[in-house]
Structures are given as structure tokens and as C-alpha cells.
Amino acid sequence: MPKLVDHQERREEIAHALWRVVDQHGWAGASLREVAREAGVSLGQLQHYFASRTAMLTFATEFAAERTSDRVERGLAALDQPPHPKDVLRVVLAEMLPLHPDARASSRMSAAYVLEALHDPALRRQAGLGLREGRATVERLVRQAMEQGQIAADRDPDVETDLLLALTGFTPLLELGVIEPEAALAAVDQHLDRLFAGA
């Protein structure tokens, strides 16, 4: 009998191959042919799943976002239950930074996706939607903490959300070795300590 192919599994294998190529050569080096070689499939097989680099990048970025969500869920499950909002925010922020191989792969895919989206209106809309959803999640956590009296009521939730997201700006500093992971996490912890102090 011919072997049945799990199409989702094959697409995920190709996404992993794209992650590796981007990690080693950058998005500029991620041709369909190079990704097919890395995935161990023919160019024709790859094009059966992804007709273009953009389609492949979009899937790989969405898959990376799912992996990030899975890591956040595992991190939250390891906290005391119910978890303190400060601890929830720390897990979310830490998983958005390139502090370990999986997170680095996700971060690099996101960077490639954003750069591509700057020149592609359809991708731009899609990328903007994803970022707005992520921001809404963080804002919801901030507002819940304020309602529970854990963040001072006179804080502006919009501003505090944007300041928290600004901490993900450590990404290029980490990627280029300007700062160490411990320094980024120390800054995240100090910011959260200040945000939750005096409530």
C-alpha cells in the first residue's frame, strides 16, 4: 500500500526547515530550492504545499506563533494556581524574547515576516492583525490586574501595555550579543516590580 502522507505534518516539517535556513542564512537565503533541500523533499513536492516564498513564510510564522503560545501555556501551568498577574506577564514577555532555541526560531521568523510585510499590503494587514491581537492579550492582563487592585488604579492601561511590549525591543540586543539574557530578564523583572508596587 502507498504510504499515506499527513499533509499538516509535512507542512510543519517544511516550516521547521525554513526556520533552520533562516537561522543559518537569513530570509534572503531562504529560496524555495534551499528550503526543499533542507527539508529533504523535491522542489516540486515543496511547491505542492507552498506556491511561493510568501505562502511558506506566512505558514511558518503562524506555526511559530502557535509554538510560542504552547510554550506560554506550559509556563503558566507551572506557576502556582491561580497565578499572580505579574508572573503571567513575566512568562508572556520571556517567551517573546529569543532566550532559547525555539524562541529564537520564532523571533527570527517574525522578523522576516515583518520585513516582508513592509512591502506586501496583504501581508501587512495580516501581520498587523496578529500584532494587535497580541497587544490586546497583554492589555487584557494589565486591565485585569488593575481591576483586582494589583496595579495602581491611576495607571493608564494603554501606556502600561505599550511599555510592557517595548521590553520585547531587547530582541535585537540579545540576537547581536549586545546584552546577555540575564540582563534582559533583570530589566523585565524590575519593570514588573515597579508596575505592581504600591497598588
DSSP readout, 10-66? HHHHHHHHHHHHHHHH-GGG--HHHHHHHHTS-HHHHHHH-SSHHHHHHHHHHHHHH
- pLDDT of residue 5 exceeding 70: no
Structural domains of the chain in order of their starting residue, each with its CATH number: 1-51 (1.10.10.60), 53-196 (1.10.357.10)
Dmax of the chain from CA atoms? 68
What is the per-residue pLDDT for 163? 97
As a whole number, the mean pLDDT across the chain is: 91
pLDDT for 89-128, tens place per residue?
999 999 999 998 888 888 888 888 898 899 989 889 988 9
DSSP the chain: -PPPP-HHHHHHHHHHHHHHHHHHH-GGG--HHHHHHHHTS-HHHHHHH-SSHHHHHHHHHHHHHHHHHHHHHHHHHTS-SSPPHHHHHHHHHHHTS--SHHHHHHHHHHHHHHHHHTT-HHHHHHHHHHHHHHHHHHHHHHHHHHHTTSS-TTS-HHHHHHHHHHGGGHHHHHHTTSS-HHHHHHHHHHHHHHHHTT-
Where does the pLDDT of residue 8 fall: very low under 50, low under 70, confident under 90, or very high at 90 and above? confident
Written as nine digits, the cell of 95 is 517567551
Q: Is residue 49 within 8 Å of residue 10, measured between CB atoms?
A: yes
Is the model's pLDDT at 136 over the cut of 60?
yes
**pLDDT value at position 199?**
59
Chain position carrying cell 504552547 = 70
User: Averaged over 49-53, what is the pLDDT?
Assistant: 91
What are the grid coordinates assigned to 193, written together? 516590580
* pLDDT higher than 90, residue 81: no
Q: Is the pLDDT of residue 36 over 80?
A: yes
Q: Check if the beta carbon of residue 7 is closer than 8 Å to that of residue 28.
A: no
Q: Is the pLDDT of residue 151 over 70?
A: yes
Q: Which pLDDT score, from 0 to 100, does residue 16 have?
A: 92
Lookup: cell for 86: 505579574
